[in-house]
Structure 1
């Protein structure tokens, strides 16, 4: 069942004194390929300011924020209204040649995917990791599941997804990192296997199915692989899952730095940044009545007239008893134990009803349902 939600996020940076800010670039609006987005709003808490929307080279929504005067702080309040409809992450079709791994991208498509296939000067830890990946032929969905599991097992995902540059060598040495870091490792791993992949930042919404467990939302990052015929397929190494309706992308690009939600700088000064994000379910508004006030007045007048006629005829409310019994002949039959209906039960009912009517004096309406 579709569930409408409201996601509200607030980002605040406070400074020790008034400082001049550079142009800030905001990637906080759901990406064009995000599903179920109904509304989006952004409020900038700093005056004066100028906000202009555009698209970056990867077709992400990008806002240019200019603050011409020094400020004590900068606040961003954004809200997303979305309808989350249950989605099967495996509901896609690839071209026949891409149904199994490995495959080759057609020449023209490969030219278009060059930025998503490139790995820049891997260090010794990354080189060793990529060299150890399983390249055995396999059904594509199973292969992607294996890559997900390999990254998930190699690097433990801890903490929140902190945006910024990723030191892959340090990540592999530590063996643990944020979802932002593990998503970049998965992106490079897919490229190392010859699969075009991009990095995506956004929000992950989790709606609880238990009454005593609250819903949750957090800033997140994941990877997307391009499969001919299916397009971009999301993979989340933090949860070891294919992405579904709970993932709301904000920006996708070949490099993590091109998906950072807020980028810019300020004069040297002490600062403090606080971020919060909450999600709440939206209850459907009551359906408006199809009857106008004049029609309702007619309905009420008819009800009063029927009530007066029943009273004049002496018809009064009464309470009747319900009879329940079990056949002595077939007490273990399904119709007398678990099933509601049965041939023998029907025959007994049709015999019993006239007898009850005669015993009660007649005049009643008999009904077999």
Structure 2
């Protein structure tokens, strides 16, 4: 159960002082049985007029910052300490009726899963469907977990990872035709592939770390993206096609959403002279802390700093 220190800094720079509209910040990891938030601080410069926290429709923690001063730089600095409990493939326990594919979700679960089963991208030639069907045994039933694991490792093995700093995501059809992309492209492609087979799937944004401080998994040093698939008996199970990971090993969840555009880490507006915007930089560092025990939790502080208490 490693203790992790996470740093995520997003900085915007401008040629002239500009004013800032409301900004939405989604960088606080989710609390769960497998990841415990021990300390979390969000520092914003210039200091906002107000910061309020809310939970979105998926239960993600979102900070809403408003500003009353102009500046040439806007910085969001998130520092987090997490206790993480990795789970391996053998810990995935699927209900008997769902261990072989095809199966149907229960009538109790289906109403809440429907929007996560619904396809989000057009595939008029059924190219993604055909790719996904490669992993289904045409002569009989297919082991559910083995099929999803094979799909995960096939994307890692057959596609070429190409970092891309620009905003936006390729469509799943583009990713399939080009056979390359980023972690977010891979995630959206796999989501559409498993949905083509009738699975409920969601997009996950967060951080990835290696088993030791010297290891850098693919997608490390930036925010990372992967997939959650709903499997009866285990619930939402992690699949990272970028690194071929099944289970939550090395993965820290921040946002879980139905579509990628609901998981933007930082978004907002600014106004000023045309051409004022210069640059945006994002720096992410996720490292295992060798400490044997978490630090004492401090009392809550005033906004914009926030700490976990209780």
Higher normalized strand content (fraction of residues): 2
Give the unaligned 5+ runs of structure 2.
294-310
Q: Contact 1:162 / 1:178 at 8 angstroms: preserved in 2?
A: no
Structure 2 CA distance, aligned partners of 1:116 and 1:81?
Answer: 31
Secondary structure, aligned partner of 1:53 = strand
Structure 2 CA distance, aligned partners of 1:227 and 1:3?
Answer: 26
Counterpart residue number, 2:238? 234
Residue 195 and residue 270 in structure 1: after superposition, are their counterparts in 2 closer, same or farther (change >3 A)? same
Using the TM superposition, give the Cα deviation of residue 245 of structure 1 relative to its aligned residue in structure 2, in angstroms. 3.4
Residue 84 and residue 121 in structure 1: after superposition, are their counterparts in 2 closer, same or farther (change >3 A)? closer
Counterpart residue number, 1:56? 56
Higher normalized helix content (fraction of residues): 1
Secondary structure, aligned partner of 1:80 = strand
Secondary structure, aligned partner of 1:62 = strand
Measured against aligned partners, the alpha-carbon deviations of 1:217-245 in whole angstroms (never above 9, x if no partner) come to 43210000001121100001111221333
- 147-156 or 157-166, which moves further after superposition? 157-166
Q: Which of 190, 195, 217 matches 1:191?
A: 195
Measured against aligned partners, the alpha-carbon deviations of 1:110-140 in whole angstroms (never above 9, x if no partner) come to 1111110111351446x21223422332111
Structure 2 CA distance, aligned partners of 1:69 and 1:229?
Answer: 51
Q: Contact 2:10 / 2:282 at 8 angstroms: preserved in 1?
A: yes
- 232-241 or 39-48, which moves further after superposition? 39-48
Structure of higher RCO (CA pairs closer than 8 Å, 6+ residues apart): 2
Q: Contact 1:201 / 1:251 at 8 angstroms: preserved in 2?
A: yes
Counterpart residue number, 1:353? none
Q: Contact 1:12 / 1:273 at 8 angstroms: preserved in 2?
A: yes
Counterpart residue number, 1:282? 289
Structure 2 CA distance, aligned partners of 1:193 and 1:274?
Answer: 38
Using the TM superposition, give the Cα deviation of residue 6 of structure 1 relative to its aligned residue in structure 2, in angstroms. 1.3
Counterpart residue number, 2:278? 271
Count of equivalent residues: 281
* RMSD across aligned positions (CA): 2.4
Q: Contact 1:203 / 1:247 at 8 angstroms: preserved in 2?
A: yes
Counterpart residue number, 2:250? 246
Using the TM superposition, give the Cα deviation of residue 55 of structure 1 relative to its aligned residue in structure 2, in angstroms. 0.4
Using the TM superposition, give the Cα deviation of residue 208 of structure 1 relative to its aligned residue in structure 2, in angstroms. 2.7
Using the TM superposition, give the Cα deviation of residue 10 of structure 1 relative to its aligned residue in structure 2, in angstroms. 1.3
Structure 2 CA distance, aligned partners of 1:90 and 1:45?
Answer: 45
Secondary structure, aligned partner of 1:104 = coil
Structure 2 CA distance, aligned partners of 1:285 and 1:14?
Answer: 39
Residue 95 and residue 262 in structure 1: after superposition, are their counterparts in 2 closer, same or farther (change >3 A)? same
Q: Contact 2:184 / 2:226 at 8 angstroms: preserved in 1?
A: yes
Structure 1 CA distance, aligned partners of 2:199 and 2:290?
Answer: 42
Give the unaligned 5+ runs of structure 1.
287-369
Q: Contact 1:32 / 1:59 at 8 angstroms: preserved in 2?
A: no
Using the TM superposition, give the Cα deviation of residue 277 of structure 1 relative to its aligned residue in structure 2, in angstroms. 2.0
Structure 2 CA distance, aligned partners of 1:13 and 1:122?
Answer: 35
